[in-house]
Amino acid sequence: MRAFLHDVNRIVVKIGTSSLIHPNGKINFSGIDQLAFVLTDLNNLGKEIILVSSGAIGVGMNKLQLSARPASIPEQQAVAAVGQSELMHFYNQRFLAYNQQTAQVLMTRDIVEFPASRKNVINTLNQLIKMDIIPIINENDTVAVDELDHSTKFGDNDELSAIVCQLIDADLLIMLSDIDGFYSDNPNKNKQAILYSTISEITDELIDQASDAGSKFGTGGMISKLKAAERIFEAKGSMVLANGKPPRIIFDILEGKEVGTLFRRAQ
């Protein structure tokens, strides 16, 4: 069923805040380093890699020594501004240790909704890939409020990662979270919850089973991951939701091992 994953070439990897920040709010440097190693190795093998990274607010909270996520939008934007530069510093440092060049791409929703902007971002991403540079994409939290605690919540970059897949015709979206895959219920509360190996359709039952965000540092829950999967289905692509601790699981996914939940239309 998963043998096709050996042959995917253009891959979007989305890493969630919970994979970058320890539960105590400290930076997960081991995870960041391992992610840089894995993605660089895949790039060296000829894979085309794009990273969509959450974590700006989580890193900003650590930098500013905040124990609780700010309540107001301006405060969240300020923390994100501090955290984004710090996060890119960490990425630049670790990727350069493996001689891999990266580039920061901050996106807002209007970029993909307006044709001219859409074309420009597609051209930029394709050119970076052509130059063997790994783009690191995040929502521009300092000017966009959709992803923050706002009535039109975007979803912790989950949906953004699926949109990026659509923009650049990616073969696969690997979504790394703090959960092993999609369960029939919240496995932290229900030990009898069943892990789905494969999902080929987003049904009302699955939506009912989706749980809320489990981390105070992130904003995305299972609902946002299902929305991302719907976009992937529309683009006739594939998505794997897996536990990003540790990021080396990406190797297992691409070897076709039965880890995480595979979202793919029945062939």
Q: Is 222 annotated as a binding residue?
A: yes
pLDDT at 168 over 50: yes
Query: In this predicted structure, what is the pLDDT of residue 213?
Result: 45
Scored b (16 or more CB within 10 A) or e, 175-185 reads bbbbbebbbee
| 220 belongs to an annotated ligand binding site | yes
> Which residue type occupies 32?
I
Residue 150: pLDDT band by 50, 70, 90 thresholds? Answer: very low
Mean pLDDT of all residues belonging to the chain: 89
Please indicate if the annotation marks 19 as binding a ligand: no
117 is in an annotated binding site: no
Question: Which residues share a beta bridge with 20?
Answer: none
57 annotated binding-site participant: no
The pLDDT value recorded for residue 157 is: 87
Give φ, ψ of 178 to 5 degrees: -105, 20
Please check whether residue 265 is in contact with residue 232, taking contact to mean a CB–CB distance below 8 angstroms. Answer: no
Instruction: Say how many residues make up the chain.
Output: 267
Strand order in the sheet with 134-139: 102-107, 134-139, 48-53, 10-15, 172-177, 238-243, 261-263, 198-199
CA angle 99, 90, 135 (to 5 degrees): 60
Q: 3-state SS string over the chain?
A: CCHHHHHCCEEEEEECHHHHECCCCCECHHHHHHHHHHHHHHHHCCCEEEEEECCHHHHHHHHCCCCCCCCCHHHHHHHHHHHHHHHHHHHHHHHHCCCCCEEEEEECHHHHHCHHHHHHHHHHHHHHHHCCCEEEEEECCCCCCCCCCCCCCCCCCHHHHHHHHHHHCCCEEEEEECCCCCECCCCCCCCCCCECCEECCCCHHHHHHCCCCCCCCCCCCHHHHHHHHHHHHHCCCEEEEEECCCCCHHHHHHCCCCCCEEECCCC
Q: What is the pLDDT of residues 52-65, one digit of tens each?
A: 999 999 999 999 99
- Does the pLDDT at position 12 exceed 70? yes
Tell me which residue range forms the domain holding 210: 3-263
In this structure, what CATH number is given to the domain that contains residue 65?
A: 3.40.1160.10
**Residue 177 among known ligand-binding residues:** yes
Inform me whether the pLDDT recorded for 66 exceeds 80: yes
Lookup: tokens for 207: 């939506």
Mean pLDDT, residues 254-265 taken together: 95
46 in a labelled binding site: no
Task: Please tell me whether 256 is known to bind a ligand.
Answer: no
157 labelled binding-site residue? yes
| pLDDT tens-digit readout, 220-247 | 578 889 999 999 999 999 999 999 989 9
Total domain count, the chain: 1
Q: For 108-122, 141-155, 243-257, which range has the lowest pLDDT when averaged over its residues?
A: 141-155
* pLDDT-derived band at 144, boundaries 50, 70, 90: low
CB 170 within 8 A of CB 236: no
Cβ atoms of 171 and 240 within 8 Å: the answer is no
Which pLDDT value is given to residue 244?
Answer: 93
- % of the chain surpassing 70 pLDDT: 90
Is 189 annotated as contributing to ligand binding? no
Q: Report residue 211's pLDDT band, with 50, 70 and 90 as the boundaries.
A: low
pLDDT recorded at residue 171: 96
- Is 219 marked as a binding-site residue? yes
Span 76-123, pLDDT tens digits: 999 999 999 999 999 999 999 999 999 999 988 777 778 888 999 999
18 annotated as a binding-site residue: no
pLDDT band for 145, please (50, 70, 90 cuts). Answer: low
Q: For 91, list phi and psi in degrees, rounded to 5.
A: -60, -50
67 annotated as a binding-site residue: no
179-189 tens-digit pLDDT: 899 998 888 88
